[in-house]
Amino acid sequence: MSLRISVIGTGYLGAVHAVCMAELGYTVVGIDVDEEKVAALSRGQAPFYEPGLDDLLAKHHDTGRLTFTTDFAAAKNADVHFVCVGTPQRRDGLAADMRYVEAAVDALAPHLDAECLVVGKSTVPVGTAAALAERLAKTAPVGAGAELAWNPEFLREGFAVQDTLRPDRLVFGVTSAEAEQKLREVYARTIADGTPVIVSDLATSELVKVSANAFLATKISFINAMAEIAEVAGADVTKLADAIGHDARIGRKFLNAGIGFGGGCLPKDIRAFMARAGELGASHSLAFLAEVDAINLRRRQYVVDLTRELVGGSVANKRVAVLGAAFKPQSDDVRDSPALNIAGQLHLQGARVSVYDPKATANARKIFPTLPYADSAVEACRDASIVLHLTEWQEFRDLDPAELAGIVETPIVVDGRNCLDADAWRAAGWTYRGLGRP
């Protein structure tokens, strides 16, 4: 009989995971405490923008293999339960807020009266899984028959469906051969397609995820530090990145300098990692991550300062067009978005900001309702004293700089992602400023 799967938490991670499990042929129930999210998913609608997700939701809405509910009792008969809830930064410090993970396990446990595997996918501080395993064994009616494993998720928003169905690697943190076997069964098709599997203890599997994100964040802050140097030395950081990226040991990916990283993962994950290292008495090992964070946050400040300088010393009452609100393209996610942060800072300094994003306006409006939003790039740019390109949507790369020059008041553009065609914009009469490039 085909496996029955429950997925607890239907956010960016869980909704995609549930859909992909149905795509692998399993009977899946997605469970969330958010009634609105469950209602949308039950209608076959994704509650956020993620390419490819709507199609698969509709497909498995029709196959009947995928259902959503707020009732944890629906998980009762599943063989494998995936915990996919969020671990945001705590309000009172750098550490991860574990209350959703704990609540998910506590809500699930009373329904586990037959042997099953509970698999954590959320990004958690090392040591969490071992503690949860004990908690589960104490609270589930089946006791130690509800086994815990960890299977970290590495998906990138915007590519979440493909990253889930065809991941670079699978990591199974397990405490028994049976748990490993069950996970190999769940991912049989993915493994048959050639995806490598790394089997480890629970602690290693938890660390793999946070260390991967720490490495990626470090790579971005490294190139942004080089952008700072290039800026003062009159060099070009994009050429530098191309050149060092040809070294296979370095690689070109994640070497795009600009306004830095944001989103629901990298910023809070490096902070939670530092906090956990401190608890373990090893703060010195991750002290460099504080610098990675500081370099990253400096990028936002730098663009605000540059904007002020380019419009003559004060942004008060100046029209500033902001192209992009999402933390990256192909996503409507505005959590810790550098673009929105910059727009907000300028707004608070008295600028007449107009923000446009192809997908993220509704979410941006929710967390920053006082910012003015436009319905198109052209509308945002009308009569602007300066244009800031902050999220690299293809739509912005496709803009005609000549046409736009006729709409703005002053043709000055700051390319916060270093990916507009500088020559084309200059040829159309613009003052073009990249970050760390001439």
CA distance 172 to 136: 19
Helix (H) or strand (E) holding 6: strand 4-8
- Interface with ligand UDX (CB under 6 A), residue from 122, 256, 307, 341: 256
- Interface with ligand UDX (CB under 6 A), residue from 150, 327, 373, 430: 327
Residue 154 labeled ligand binder: yes
The first and second tokens of residue 373, run together, are 């939003």
Whole-angstrom CA distances from 260 to 88, 167, 205, 339 are 19, 25, 27, 9
Nearer to ligand UDX, 255 or 275 (CB): 255
Nearer to ligand UDX, 72 or 393 (CB): 393
Summarize the chain as % helix, strand, coil (round to 5): 45, 15, 40
CA distance 210 to 270: 7
What is the total count of residues that contact ligand UDX (CB under 6 A)? 20
Nearer to ligand UDX, 75 or 435 (CB): 435
222 near 289, Cβ under 8 Å?
A: no
- Interface with ligand UDX (CB under 6 A), residue from 48, 187, 261, 432: 261
Stretch that binds ligand UDX, among 87-95, 138-146, 252-260, 287-295 (CB under 6 A): 252-260
CA distance 110 to 390: 47
- Interface with ligand UDX (CB under 6 A), residue from 204, 254, 290, 419: 254
CA distance 28 to 3: 9
Nearer to ligand UDX, 30 or 329 (CB): 329
115 near 38, Cβ under 8 Å?
A: no
Q: Estimate to the nearest angstrom the gap between the alpha carbon of 407 and the chain centroid.
A: 34
CA distance 403 to 49: 29
CA distance 11 to 155: 13
Stretch that binds ligand UDX, among 71-79, 86-94, 147-155, 272-280 (CB under 6 A): 147-155
Residue 48 labeled ligand binder: no
Nearer to ligand UDX, 96 or 112 (CB): 96
79 near ligand UDX, judged by CB under 6 A: no
11 near ligand UDX, judged by CB under 6 A: no
CA distance 116 to 112: 8
Nearer to ligand UDX, 265 or 384 (CB): 265
228 near ligand UDX, judged by CB under 6 A: no
Helix (H) or strand (E) holding 352: strand 352-356
Stretch that binds ligand UDX, among 262-270, 352-360, 381-389, 429-437 (CB under 6 A): 262-270
- Interface with ligand UDX (CB under 6 A), residue from 11, 30, 260, 416: 260
- Interface with ligand UDX (CB under 6 A), residue from 7, 18, 183, 216: 216
**Catalytically annotated residue among 20, 84, 265, 381:** 265
- Interface with ligand UDX (CB under 6 A), residue from 11, 120, 263, 434: 263
**Residue 265 known to be catalytic:** yes
Residue 258 labeled ligand binder: yes
Secondary structure (3-state) at 73: helix
Give strand ranges (E) for 379-436: 386-389, 412-415, 431-433
Residue 87 labeled ligand binder: yes
- Give just the sign of the alpha carbon dihedral 265, 266, 270, 273: positive
Q: Smallest distance, Å, CB 381 to ligand UDX?
A: 22
Nearer to ligand UDX, 27 or 256 (CB): 256
418 near ligand UDX, judged by CB under 6 A: no
84 near ligand UDX, judged by CB under 6 A: no
The first and second tokens of residue 62, run together, are 């029709």
Q: Treating both helix axes as pointing N-terminal to C-terminal, what angle do 338-348 and 287-310 enclose, rounded to 10 degrees?
A: 50
Q: Smallest distance, Å, CB 336 to ligand UDX?
A: 8
Judged on CB neighbours under 10 Å (0-12, 13-18, 19+), 91 is exposed
Q: Treating both helix axes as pointing N-terminal to C-terminal, what angle do 266-279 and 202-233 enclose, rounded to 10 degrees?
A: 120
Binding-site residues for NAD(+) sit at 32, 37, 87, 123, 157, 268, 335
Q: Active-site residues: which are they?
A: 265
Binding residues: 32, 37, 87, 123, 154-157, 209, 254-258, 262, 268, 328, 335
Residue ranges for the known binding site for substrate are 154-157, 209, 254-258, 262, 328
What are the residues binding ligand UDX (CB under 6 A)? 153-157, 213, 216, 220, 254-256, 258, 260-263, 265-266, 327-328
